[in-house]
Chains A and B, each alone.
Chain A
Amino acid sequence: MIELSDVSASYGNVPAINGVTINVGEGEAVGLLGANGAGKSTTLRAISGLVKLTSGAITFLGVDLASLPPHKITELGIAHVPEGRQVFPEMTVNENLEIGSYAPRAKADRASSLDLVYSIFPRLAERRKQLAGTMSGGEQQMLAVGRGLMLKPRLLMLDEPSLGLAPVMCDVTFEKVAEIHKMGTAILLVEQNVSRALTLVQRAYVLESGKVILDGTTAQLAGNKQVQAAYLGI
């Protein structure tokens, strides 16, 4: 469904990713793992157009993304839930969700998408009128994921959804993401919490210093000595 071939991108003169080649199939859940600064977030930002490629190509369902601005990429059905949640703090929960379906592809189905998001996250339904910036980190994370769902995405990209959350909220978030994946949405999950990520995804890539150093199925990676030593603490 989405293919990155030999993608490089940089911030100014500092290269952030260097020749990354990954793909996600229809309905698949794929992990992008690695330490802080390995280039995971940059990979997502390159896909959604927030960072321009210095070389390489990205195609989504046959469409070349490299020349498209972010709002056109969103319109194709790629939802990017950014790191650190980044909800619109001075807008209500409901307004945040509504703006999640701003793109023409999602606008007509806003009412049914809202129902769906509120049924997955009953907590958000209770807080409908509350300003997003006044909610707890876990609630903001639910909102950020829910806002992504409002796009009716074909591919949902999640950047560190567990970051800064209490373990209980973390469990809830991963449960919900698994639920969304079961409904048929492809998922590209960026996580530092490797052991938890491996419970959700079928395959994963491990990034280090802007390059893919390992890839394989969940079972292969969980059994890999290098992964065990570096990320699973075994």
Chain B
Amino acid sequence: MLEILAQAVINGLLIGGIYALVSIGVTLIFGVVKIVNFAQGEFVMIGMYISFFLATQFGIDPIVSLAVSMPVLFVIGVLIQHFLIRRVLGLNDLPQIFLTFALSLLIVNLSLMLFTANYRTVHTWYSDEAFRVGGLYIPVAKLVAFVLAMILSGALWIFLHTTDLGKAMRAASQNRDVAQLMGINPNRVFAVALGIALALAGAAGSLLMPFYPAYPLVGQVFVLMAFVAVVLGTLGNVIGALIASLLMGVAESLGIQFIGADSGLIVVFMLLLITLALRPSGLAGGRRR
């Protein structure tokens, strides 16, 4: 019994690392630019297809293809901010919601056209490998994904807390008007926020590829979890999103293990509703980091 519980927790933590990459991106965009990016999951999907094609065409390992998917998605993020989002900022929220929602639909349908709805998988030498620790089973691909997800999250935290640009992003998320009075150019900070958020989504996609199939609607699996984690972790709070994502992963995994294979999300959304009822501003209580 204890072993089953420990195994479920480990499975949850490992996938929670991927959720964290997606939700940190959502919360970063929300915190800095003050928009909700409904298309975040689609950028995970793009990251997956980038790694899929690099693997099948050039034999590049999906983990190595992070070096391509992250910069490509960073540039896409900057372009989307510059040419699309920038034009709807400062209006009411509705055009912003429609913009990212439309972007999501557009990307999904373009992918259906270009890649078809078929599931695409990449089989690496470590896709079926696992460590056995005691009676526990730790898949190598998921462990690698988790470790790299934590490293990337840590790198973002260091960026936000030690560089001038990172501090400018935090300042802009805490008080946009006063940030401008400090000489911070909001458009520049917003573009970097979009770039980083999309690069993290792309990284999630590449890291998923050795153990998860790519298909045009795959992003919706992850964006749903990301939104729950972002709300639980307090909107705009990067550390909160990270911790909440790991919790979500564990909650989902426990649900699957002890309630039923289809019931993982029931536990997740119960947790969301209970938290919102008791602490409406999230577990971190309205604080932004």
- For chain B, residues 157 to 181, give those with C-beta under 8 angstroms from any C-beta of chain A: 164, 167-168, 170-171, 174-175, 177-181
Interface-located stretch among B21-29, B61-69, B182-190, B251-259: B182-190
User: Provided the pairs A90-B288, A91-B171 are in contact, do residues A48 and B164 lie with their beta carbons within 8 angstroms?
Assistant: no
- A91 B174 Cβ-Cβ under 8 A: yes
Instruction: Count chain A CB atoms within 10 A of each CB in B168, B171, B287 and give the residue with the most.
Output: B171
- Cβ contact of B168, chosen from A48, A70, A102, cutoff 8 A: A102
- B183 A88 Cβ-Cβ under 8 A: no
- A69 B185 Cβ-Cβ under 8 A: yes
- A90 B183 Cβ-Cβ under 8 A: no
- A80 B181 Cβ-Cβ under 8 A: yes
Q: Which residues of the partner chain A approach B174 to less than 8 Å between Cβ atoms? A: 88-91
Q: Which residues of the partner chain B approach A90 to less than 8 Å between Cβ atoms? A: 170, 174, 287-289
Count the A residues whose beta carbon is within 8 Å of the partner chain — how many? 28
- Cβ contact of B178, chosen from A88, A103, A106, cutoff 8 A: A88
- B183 A74 Cβ-Cβ under 8 A: yes
- For chain B, residues 13 to 54, give those with C-beta under 8 angstroms from any C-beta of chain A: none
Asked if A3 lies at the interface with its beta carbon under 8 angstroms from chain B, I say no
Give the residue name and chain of the A residue nearest to B237 (CB). A90
User: Provided the pairs A89-B174, A90-B174, A90-B287 are in contact, do residues A99 and B167 lie with their beta carbons within 8 angstroms?
Assistant: yes
Q: Which residues of the partner chain B approach A48 to less than 8 Å between Cβ atoms? A: 181
- B164 A107 Cβ-Cβ under 8 A: yes
Instruction: Count chain A CB atoms within 10 A of each CB in B164, B179, B180, B288 and give the residue with the most.
Output: B180
Chain B, interface residues (CB within 8 Å), range:
20 to 34
Give the residue name and chain of the A residue nearest to B170 (CB). A91
Q: Could you tell me the distance in whole angstroms from the C-beta of A88 to the nearest C-beta in chain B?
A: 5
Give the residue name and chain of the A residue nearest to B236 (CB). A90
State the main secondary structure of chain B at its contact with A: helix
Give the residue name and chain of the A residue nearest to B183 (CB). A103
Residue-wise, chain A 72-92 has the 8 Å CB interface mask toward B (1 for contact) of 001100011010001011110
Q: Could you tell me the distance in whole angstroms from the C-beta of A169 to the nearest C-beta in chain B?
A: 21
User: Provided the pairs A71-B185, A90-B288 are in contact, do residues A50 and B170 lie with their beta carbons within 8 angstroms?
Assistant: no
Q: Could you tell me the distance in whole angstroms from the C-beta of B234 to the nearest C-beta in chain A?
A: 11
- For chain A, residues 101 to 144, give those with C-beta under 8 angstroms from any C-beta of chain B: 102-107
Per the bound structure, the CA–CA distance linking A41 and B18 in Å amounts to 47
Give the residue name and chain of the B residue nearest to A76 (CB). B183
Per the bound structure, the CA–CA distance linking A102 and B184 in Å amounts to 7
Q: Which residues of the partner chain B approach A105 to less than 8 Å between Cβ atoms? A: 183
Closest A-B pairs by Cβ, 10 of them: A103-B183, A70-B180, A74-B183, A88-B174, A71-B185, A86-B178, A80-B181, A71-B183, A102-B182, A99-B171
Residues on A lying within 8 angstroms of B by beta carbon are 48-50, 69-71, 74-75, 79-80, 82, 86, 88-91, 95, 98-100, 102-107, 147, 151
